[in-house]
Structures are given as C-alpha cells and as structure tokens.
Amino acid sequence: MEFEESELIYDWNKPPGFGFRHKKSFQLNDETLRDGLQSPSVRDPAIEQKLRILHLMEELHLDAADLGLPGAGVRAMEDIERLAQEIVRCKMRISPNVAVRTVVSEVEAVVRLSERVGMPIEACTFIGSSAIRRYTEGWEIDHILRLSEEAVRFGAERGIPMCYVTEDTTRAEPEILDRLYSAAIAAGATRIVIADTVGHATPVGVRNLVKHVLAIVKRSGADVKVDWHGHSDRGIGIPNAMMAIASGADRIHATALGVGERCGNVPMDLLLVNLKLEGILDRDLSMLRRYVDEVSVATGVDIPPNYPVFGENAFRTSTGVHAAAIVKARRKGAARLADLVYSGVPASMFGSEQKIEIGFMSGKSNVVYCLESRGIDPDEALVTRILEEAKRASSVLSGQRIDEIVAAYRRGGSQ
C-alpha cells in the first residue's frame, strides 16, 4: 500500500511556506573526546577505542573533532597525537582541533604538535568572560585582553588556525564581548565560539546572543566563523542548538549521548536526528546506533531506556492500543505506516524497528503479534492464557517466559 505522509500527517512544524533557516555551509564539531571526557562519570577510553570513535565520526561525515585537552597530561597529549596521525594516515576529511588555555606556552605546544603530525591543528583558546568569573578569578578586563591577544597572535603568526572561546559567554556583558571578540579577530582569530559553559541560555537568549556576535564580526570586516557550544543544565541543549543554527551560527559543538560536565552537552546523535527530520541534513544515518553504542561502551556511560531514538524503549511498546495500531498498519502492507502511526521518529531511518511486548497494559493484539512473530499459531485459548498471566505480572513477559507458557500449553499442562 502506497501513501503520502502529507495526506495522513499534518505537520505543524512546517506550515506552508516555512523553511528552517540555516547557513548552507554550517558544520558540526564533535567534542566527545574532549568535553565529553570531562564528565566525572566517564571512563577515559583506551586509544584503540578513541580511534574507532574517530572513524565513526568520519563515517557520519562530521566536519571537525576536538581531539582533547593537551594540558590534561602526558597521556592526553599522546592520545591527541595518535588521533591526529590517524587523520593524516587515513587521509580523513574531518578537521582536528584541541582545547587550550589562552596562554602562549599552550598554543606553542599545539604548534609543535602540528609540526610533528604534518598538518595544522586548530587551537581553541578559552578564557572566562563573565563578570562572575572575572570577580572570582580576580581578573581585570585588560589582563584578559592581553592574554587573548598574545596567545591568538602567537598561533596565527605561525600558521595555526586560531579559534577564540569566551567561556560563560551567555552571562557576559555585551560591551565586554565586543572588546574581547574584536581584539581576538584583530589578532588573527578565524573562528570565535559562543560558549554556554554552565547551560544558562534559553532559545531566546541564544537568538539574541548569536545576532549580537554576528554583528561584531560584520563590523570587523574579517572572514570569521561563529560557533555555538552548548550545555544541557536546563534540559534544553537541543532547542538551543537548533536556534543557534536558525540564527546564523556557522558551527555547532556536541558530544555523543550528550556526555560532558554536570548535565552534559548537546547530544550529537540527537542533533543529527533532528537535523535529518528537519530536512537540513540529507545523509544516511542508519549507522548512528553504532556510534552511540561505541561511545557508551568506551566511556562506561549506559544509555537510559527512555533515551530518544537509541534507548531500549524508544520504539518499544507493551500498551494494547498502541500495539493494535501498529499491527493494523502492518496488515495494510505498509511498513512505513507502521513506523509512523505511533512514533514521531521513523525507527527504520536510524537502523531500528518497532517492537511489541506483552505486559500488564497489553491487549490481544500484543499477544497475537508476538506469537506470529515466533511462527506460533495464535489460537484463542493460548492467547487467553498468555494474556491472563501478563495481567498478573508487574512487568513485561520475557521471551523465555512466553516460550515456557507455549510449551506448557502444548503439553496440556499448567503454566
């Protein structure tokens, strides 16, 4: 059975004439191997695992990857260098960067690293910008400006792509940001980052801030890109990232599964899902599950059952009404219809499928479907017996328990 989605689904997200605004050349920067590993709950992956994750980033056509924080120690620098060598050896398209403090000695380390691996590595120099951070650190604005100009100019003069990051941008005063970004651009920064370091921003704030920073760039007359780096302390990392894109940001930072400090970062996997569903990205994402699974294992971060798209329950139901609708759609011979009737995200688009279980909220449709999927004739008495047990249970019946009930029924015995 063929059908047009537009005939059966009215999409309030895309009214007639609407188009999601974005720069055609906007990019994605994967922070999993740097900001993601700053979470106190993660395990630092072995270099072999980091290499696999890097290759998955490449397969997903991500544009850039933060390879780490050199200042974290000898092992961190060794891993960064090995990852950069892999990019060169395999002629990867992905562009590497690292995070360093806005200090000349740390930028100098990136210069030497770039020379050793034979390719320029972008240096993302970060320094606090908000009044609360300046007060806590005892910094004067002139001190921050001096450090910023010296570090950015040092790297730029030596051929290093310089990215200037103002930490806690979303709580910094407009005039301070004007001075900091203007000074960094004049010193040779080719990219500046708006950092929602503590997850303070709302979509309205994102829009206002991105427009303000774009105006700074425009006044400079320089060809400088603007990045958005968001955290999820308020649970709105994805909406903020989407607003940053719609407001004109050139590159978005995110991490697999949203791993990162405190409540984490914008989840790269869910950002890709939303960009795909909005029609902004046109690429195969069926292997996205491999990416989240690899990061989950490598970092020791479990995927919650209710995690969108990739959690165990994302496309799983034991509710009778829901299961009945899915079964009816499948019986119409339309797999795509079954994928959409009770799901806002098509499971097949991301390498998954709808799953029907039997539990205390189930109806006959659940039992019939599960039996037929096992190649078992769903006669009325068997269906009734399984459903009766399900109603008494406090959780869904396992596949093993269903098989036991079927075996007992066939023997004519008790359950």
Instruction: Decide if pLDDT at 415 tops 60.
Output: no
Specify the pTM. Answer: 0.93
Residue 267 per-residue DSSP state: B
Backbone angles phi, psi at 293, to 5 degrees: -65, -40
Return the bridge partners of 395, or none.
none
The CA distance from 278 to 34, in Å, is 28
Q: Which amino acid is at 304?
A: P
Domains of the chain listed by start with CATH number: 27-299 (3.20.20.70), 316-411 (no CATH)
Helix (H) or strand (E) holding 320: helix 320-331
- Residue 337 CB: number of other CB atoms within 10 A? 19
> DSSP string of 66-117?
E---GGG-HHHHHHHHHHHHHHHHTT-SPEEEEEEES-HHHHHHHHHHHHHH
The CA distance from 189 to 194, in Å, is 14
Helix (H) or strand (E) holding 55: helix 47-59
| 414: Cα separation from own chain's centroid | 50
Measuring CA to CA, which residue among 141, 152, 212 is closest to residue 185?
A: 152
CB contact at 8 A, 258 and 266 = yes
In which band, very low, low, confident or very high, does the pLDDT at 413 lie, cut at 50, 70 and 90?
low
Average pLDDT score over residue span 376-393: 94
Measuring CA to CA, which residue among 183, 197, 256 is closest to residue 231?
A: 197
Radius of gyration for the alpha carbons in the chain, expressed in angstroms and rounded: 26
In which band, very low, low, confident or very high, does the pLDDT at 11 lie, cut at 50, 70 and 90?
confident
The CA distance from 298 to 57, in Å, is 14
Q: Give 178's contacts (C-beta < 8 A, 6+ positions apart).
A: 216
pLDDT of residue 228: 98
pLDDT of residue 18: 78
Q: Which amino acid is at 145?
A: L
The CA distance from 241 to 227, in Å, is 10
In which band, very low, low, confident or very high, does the pLDDT at 330 lie, cut at 50, 70 and 90?
confident
Instruction: Decide if pLDDT at 1 tops 60.
Output: no
More confident residue, 342 or 86: 86
Q: Give 166's contacts (C-beta < 8 A, 6+ positions apart).
A: 126, 127, 128, 129, 172, 177, 180, 181, 192, 193, 194, 195
pLDDT of residue 303: 97
Average pLDDT score over residue span 76-88: 98
pLDDT of residue 412: 83
Q: How far are the Cα atoms of 384, 397, 401, 409 from residue 412, in angstroms, in the given order? A: 14, 21, 16, 5
Q: What percent of the chain has pLDDT over 90?
A: 86
pLDDT of residue 69: 96
Q: How far are the Cα atoms of 1, 229, 390 from residue 271, in angstroms, in the given order? A: 32, 13, 37
